[in-house]
Amino acid sequence: MKTNILTILCILCCSVATLGQTSILRWIELSPEGVVSVEGNLSEGIDMPDLSWAWNSAVACFPGTQAAKFTGKHVLYAIDLPSYTELEIDLIPTDKSANFSLYAYEVGTISEGNTVPTLSQCIRCEADYKWDYKVKGKTQDHTRHVRDILALANPYQVIIGVVGANGLKEGAFRLEVKKK
């Protein structure tokens, strides 16, 4: 009986501590079929005035020259990345004229210390945003794509950020996560 009470108390304490650290995250469960789709709106996100974590050399997500493309609301998702798995992440804004950006980064275990904006280092970070100039041989539409989020021998956890560019704070979107 005492063991059961201690176990329950320990689980409750750990749950409360974890909830406080990561309450801004929405967890996504990777499906066995390999494709998950969630819908959201930037209005559900948070403001993030300090973006310096992104161009820190231990993160290297996007350069400071592109900061304006990440100044809107940030909607954050989290997903477990099993060993020997690669993810492709696609962002599809409902309004084709809306300017959105997308980033995703890998960490060992998500905690308050490695959740943006307090992120000081990560295993890998990738981002996609509207190009300033045309890229020869490529085209870009309103969708954003992040590739190369992968785990080899060790599993990781991934945080995905859907962001409005140039201060955009409202806009519906669909986020698709595919297991490759």
C-alpha 15/C-alpha 21 separation (Å) is 10
Q: Retrieve residue 155's tokens.
A: 């599993």
Work out the number of other CB atoms within 10 angstroms of the CB of residue 141.
Answer: 8
pLDDT tens per residue, range 3-59: 443 333 333 333 333 333 357 899 999 988 889 999 999 999 999 999 999 999 999
- The residue behind tokens 């290297």 is 60
Residue 83 lies in a domain: yes
Q: What is the pLDDT of residue 123?
A: 96
pLDDT tens per residue, range 132-161: 998 899 999 999 999 999 999 999 999 999
Q: Are 1 and 150 in contact (CB under 8 A)?
A: no
C-alpha 7/C-alpha 96 separation (Å) is 51
Q: What is the pLDDT of residue 125?
A: 98
- When divided into structural domains, the chain yields a total of 1
Residue 134 lies in a domain: yes
**Domain coverage including residue 121:** 25-179
> pTM for the whole thing?
0.86
Number of Cα atoms under 13 Å in the Cβ half of residue 56: 17
Among the listed residues 128, 134, 113, the one whose alpha carbon sits nearest the alpha carbon of residue 165: 128
C-alpha 178/C-alpha 175 separation (Å) is 10
Residue 8 lies in a domain: no
Residue 16 lies in a domain: no
Phi then psi for residue 50, to 5 deg, are -100, 110
Residue 86 lies in a domain: yes
Q: Retrieve residue 102's tokens.
A: 């997308």
Residue 20 lies in a domain: no
Residue 71 lies in a domain: yes
C-alpha 64/C-alpha 51 separation (Å) is 8
Q: Retrieve residue 62's tokens.
A: 């996007």
In this structure, what CATH number is given to the domain that contains residue 100? Answer: 2.60.120.380
Residue 14 lies in a domain: no
